[in-house]
Amino acid sequence: MRLSYPSNVKIVLVPCTGKVDVVHMLKAIQKGADGVYCVGCLEGACHYNEGNLRCRERVNHVRSLLQEIGLESERVRMYNLSSGEAPTFVAYAKEMTENILKLGPNPLKKKAEVKK
Amino acid sequence: MIVAKRKPFDEIMDLIKDHKKVLVVGCGTCVAVCLAGGEKEVAVLATELDMARKLKNNPLELESATLERQCDREYLAQLDNRVGEFDALISLACGVGIQFLAERFPNKPVYPGVDTCGLAVNQDVGWYEERCRSCGRCVLGMTGGICPVTMCAKGLYNGPCGGTNKGNCEISADQPCAWNAIYDRLKAQGRLDCILELTLPQEWKDTTPRTLIQPGYKKPEKAKA
Amino acid sequence: MKSGSNLEKVLRAGHFAFTGELGPPRGAHAEEVRKKAAHLKEKVDSVNITDNQTAVVRMASWAASLLLIQEGLEPNYQMVCRDRNRLAMQADILGASALGIRNMLCLSGDHCQFGDHPTAKGVFDIDSMQLISMVRQMRDDGKFLGGTEVDGKPQIFIGAAANPFADPFEWRVHRLAKKVAAGVDFIQTQCIYNMPKFREFIRQANDMGLTEKVFILAGITPMKSLGMAKYMKAKVPGMDVPDEIITRLQGAARDKQAEEGIKIALEQIAELKEMKGVAGVHLMAIEWEHRVPEIAERAGMLPRPKV
């Protein structure tokens, strides 16, 4: 469809969001990502039955871990759509970007740079 | 199996607040199975600690290791040459493993990263329910396979008490009355005579630390290093 | 005669016994015990003294029992298994007997969770049935639970509770049989509102010959209000309050509900007096001790027999 979405969104392809684990999301933030979001199938329509539901639980868990550490839980979230909904994908990408811009850069990024 | 729960993050942070270089040690057996202290959970904790300490401008040098288990010396021995460079160790093993680790390295502070929560069955992924208190005098033969010590809130041997509430324990509608369940189970098996006679007072065995030598084995003169 | 207590003498002489209850205060004021006791004097054969009831700390039941003896009444000293181990229990039994306490009730005890120290450790070293057996062994065999000799056997008339209304119903009479085999002398039941169920329980107890071996006192608690009835129906574990009771109280005007509650209790007592296998009534007028004289009078329980 040749729609464009914000260039700061880097996509990591997985066969199912069920493959995304807590430590993957956490490490992304640790290494300086300003935000992480998982985009999975609509609930009830997971290609592998329940993968997206498991991802939802993990995303919620990571949000609470971020709070424990002292970071904003909103940096991580879950979106659901069907694979045919390209415009929705773009809308979510824009929404997430705006959300993160409001929160500001990942505070850990500065510290990682300073260390270098 | 033994089940445990990761300690609250703030508590762990508090335990290691004065340390600068810490080794997080996981265990690949019970706590890995119950998703509290295995390799994955070690990675999550280490990542959390790294981020939180950076945000506080008090960076922490962290390394991790996950042993097969921490209740057998041969696995603890794998850490012998590493431990020296750290200020402290955090162990995610059950209370047994943490103590064995601490005993092996008595000059290093060893902190628990989990609270050991009992002996439990696995109902579903991440869902565990306690079934045994290791009292040492199993009466499951008499009670149709339901433990009165663990499952009865009052640990009665001649239950039920008068507080049974529609088949549930008086303390909560979510807790079935163990003796009601024992009665139903024995009745279905035609074995109510098991509980017709008075069960005599228990000789409590779990009040002092117990040592077990299996028959056919001898306690060695000196414990192995 | 196992203890020579007033209650025992009344029951063995064939009279219909009438006992009351008193909850010790949540402080050290002996006067509060004396005040409540004054209402009950000469109106009942003996008075239950509760032991940290609902797991809330109160003056010790042995102490309040002693105060009662000093006031000229007879206590039924309650001991729960929740707060003491077997050593403390045996020690307290010896002490109680030395102080002249002659009736004792062996109970499990409400779970700590209900009370003012919910995280306290519930002891439950032995259960209520094992306690009954232990007291009997001290009294009749002169032996402590551990087997050594008791130098001065306690003289105790042993009581226990029965709840015919908790599940499983069919098992309750067998549990009563177990308590009888363990050595219990008298039983007080949980307060009765479901008379048909109680009749069935007593019928089973009669059939098993239990009522010839143990004195059963039927528990009665008059409803003070509709609110109390609803609360007991919904919130008290093991309590069976039939809808008919609620309906009856609903039919009475607000200020007449207490009277209706008393009327219901009086009807029950009248029936229980004639019921085979029932040796007496245990009136639990909790925090309503001042109404006991009136209820006793109207129920035809006065004067109490002198034995």
pLDDT tens-digit profile of A70-84? 999 999 999 999 988
* Cβ contact, residue pair C128, B180, below 8 Å: no
CA distances from residue C58 to C26, C61, C62 in whole angstroms, order as listed: 4, 8, 11
* Cβ contact, residue pair A71, B50, below 8 Å: no
Q: pLDDT grade, residue B223 (50/70/90)?
A: low
Instruction: Write down which residue in B93, B118, B143 finishes a domain.
Output: B118
Residue A113: is its pLDDT beyond 60?
no
Residue A116: is its pLDDT beyond 80?
no
State residue C236's pLDDT score: 84
The two beta strands, C103-107 and C157-162, are: parallel
C32 or B204, higher pLDDT:
C32
Q: What is the pTM of this model?
A: 0.88
Chain A residues near residue B43 by CB distance under 8 angstroms: 23, 27
List the single best residue of B137, B139, B150, B158 to mutate versus C (max C Cβ within 10 A): B158
State residue C175's pLDDT score: 94
Instruction: Establish if B183 belongs to a structural domain.
Output: yes
Same domain? For B137 and B113 the reply is: no
Is the preceding omega at residue A6 within 30 degrees of 0, hence cis? no
Same domain? For B18 and B109 the reply is: yes
Same domain? For B6 and B110 the reply is: yes
The beta-carbon contacts of B37-40 under 8 Å, at least 24 apart in sequence, are B37/B4, B37/B6, B37/B91, B37/B92, B37/B93, B37/B94, B37/B113, B37/B114, B38/B66, B38/B92, B39/B66, B40/A21, B40/A22, B40/A23
Arithmetic mean of pLDDT, C94-121: 95
- The whole-angstrom distance between B17's CA and the closest CA on chain A is 14
Instruction: Establish if B210 belongs to a structural domain.
Output: no
Name the residue type at position A112: A
Instruction: Establish if B85 belongs to a structural domain.
Output: yes
Contact status of A84 with chain B (Cβ, < 8 Å): no
Q: Give the three-class secondary structure for B221.
A: coil
Chain B residues near residue A27 by CB distance under 8 angstroms: 43, 47
d(CA B146, CA C44): 43
Instruction: Establish if B54 belongs to a structural domain.
Output: yes
d(CA A88, CA A76): 18
Query: What's the token pair of residue B128?
Result: 């565990």
Same domain? For B55 and B149 the reply is: no
Stretch among B5-14, B196-205, C9-18, C102-111 having the lowest mean pLDDT: B196-205
B171 vs C113, C129, C177: nearest CB: C113
* Cβ contact, residue pair C174, B196, below 8 Å: yes
Please name each of the domains of chain C with its CATH number: 6-298 (3.20.20.220)
Instruction: Establish if B125 belongs to a structural domain.
Output: no
Chain B residues near residue A25 by CB distance under 8 angstroms: none
* Strands of B2-6's sheet in order across: B2-6, B114-124, B127-132
B51 vs A21, A22, A108: nearest CB: A108
Same domain? For B8 and B113 the reply is: yes
* Cβ contact, residue pair B170, C238, below 8 Å: yes
* Cβ contact, residue pair C171, B183, below 8 Å: yes
Chains contacting B (3 or more CB pairs within 8 Å): A, C
Query: What's the token pair of residue B146?
Result: 């339901």
Nearest residue on chain A to B125, alpha-carbon basis: A54
State residue C286's pLDDT score: 78
Instruction: Give per-residue burial for A78-95: e unless 16+ CB within 10 Å, then b.
Output: bbbbeeeeeeebbebbee
Question: Is-contact B31 B92, C-beta < 8 A?
Answer: yes
Chain A residues near residue B50 by CB distance under 8 angstroms: 30
Is the preceding omega at residue C168 within 30 degrees of 0, hence cis? yes
Same domain? For B105 and B146 the reply is: no
Q: pLDDT grade, residue C126 (50/70/90)?
A: very high
Same domain? For B110 and B147 the reply is: no
Contact status of A86 with chain B (Cβ, < 8 Å): no
State residue B222's pLDDT score: 77
Other beta carbons within 10 angstroms of residue B52's beta carbon come to 21
d(CA B203, CA B225): 35
B50 vs A22, A30, A71: nearest CB: A30
Arithmetic mean of pLDDT, C204-214: 96
Q: pLDDT grade, residue B169 (50/70/90)?
A: very high
Instruction: Write down which residue in B64, B89, B118 finishes a domain.
Output: B118
B47 vs A30, A70, A111: nearest CB: A30
Strand (E) or helix (H) holding A77: strand A76-80
d(CA B209, CA C102): 41
Same domain? For B14 and B99 the reply is: yes
State residue A47's pLDDT score: 84
**Of A90, A99, A79, which Cα lies nearest the Cα of A35?**
A99
Instruction: List all residues of chain A from 6 to 45 with a beta carbon under 8 Å from chain B.
Output: 21-23, 26-27, 29-30
Q: What percent of chain C has pLDDT over 70?
A: 100
Calculate the average pLDDT of chain C: 95
Arithmetic mean of pLDDT, C5-27: 96
* Cβ contact, residue pair B9, A70, below 8 Å: no
Stretch among A108-112, B39-43, C241-245 having the lowest mean pLDDT: A108-112
Question: Is-contact B98 B37, C-beta < 8 A?
Answer: no
- The whole-angstrom distance between B121's CA and the closest CA on chain C is 25
Q: For residue B75, give the CATH number of its domain.
A: 3.40.50.2300
Query: What's the token pair of residue A48?
Result: 């592998």
Contact status of A53 with chain B (Cβ, < 8 Å): no
Stretch among A25-29, B9-13, B208-212, C210-214 having the lowest mean pLDDT: B208-212
Arithmetic mean of pLDDT, B122-135: 94
**Of C153, C219, C220, C189, which Cα lies nearest the Cα of C4?**
C153
- The whole-angstrom distance between C22's CA and the closest CA on chain B is 20
- At residue B196's C-alpha, the angle toward residues B195 and B198, to 5°, is 85
Calculate the average pLDDT of chain A: 91
The structural domain count of chain B equals 2
Stretch among B166-170, C33-37, C210-214 having the lowest mean pLDDT: B166-170
Instruction: Establish if B92 belongs to a structural domain.
Output: yes
Q: pLDDT tens for residues B90-120?
A: 999 999 999 999 999 999 999 999 999 999 9
Calculate the average pLDDT of chain B: 94
Residue B61: is its pLDDT beyond 80?
yes
- The whole-angstrom distance between B41's CA and the closest CA on chain C is 30
- The whole-angstrom distance between B120's CA and the closest CA on chain A is 23
Q: Is the dihedral of CA B121, B123, B125, B130 positive or negative?
A: negative
Beta partners for residue B5, in sequence order: B115
**What domain range is B156 assigned to?**
133-195
Chain C residues near residue B184 by CB distance under 8 angstroms: 168
* Cβ contact, residue pair B162, C126, below 8 Å: no
d(CA C165, CA C194): 8
* Cβ contact, residue pair A69, B52, below 8 Å: yes
Same domain? For B100 and B15 the reply is: yes
Contact status of A105 with chain B (Cβ, < 8 Å): no
Same domain? For B138 and B168 the reply is: yes
Residue A3: is its pLDDT beyond 90?
no
Same domain? For B82 and B138 the reply is: no
d(CA A107, CA A115): 13
Beta partners for residue B114, in sequence order: B6
Q: pLDDT tens for residues C232-260?
A: 998 888 889 999 999 999 999 999 999 99
* Cβ contact, residue pair C166, B164, below 8 Å: yes
Q: What is the DSSP letter of C275?
A: S
Question: Is-contact B131 B150, C-beta < 8 A?
Answer: yes
A112 or A72, higher pLDDT:
A72
Arithmetic mean of pLDDT, B29-39: 96
Instruction: Establish if B222 belongs to a structural domain.
Output: no
Instruction: Establish if B202 belongs to a structural domain.
Output: no
Same domain? For B19 and B100 the reply is: yes
Nearest residue on chain B to C176, alpha-carbon basis: B196
Query: What's the token pair of residue A11?
Result: 């996509």
Question: Is-contact C273 C18, C-beta < 8 A?
Answer: no
d(CA C110, CA C33): 22
Instruction: Give per-residue burial for B5-43: e unless 16+ CB within 10 Å, then b.
Output: ebbebeebbebbeebeebbbbbbbbbbbbbbbbbbebbb
Residue C211: is its pLDDT beyond 50?
yes
Q: pLDDT tens for residues C249-307?
A: 999 999 999 999 999 999 999 999 999 999 999 999 878 889 999 999 999 999 999 99
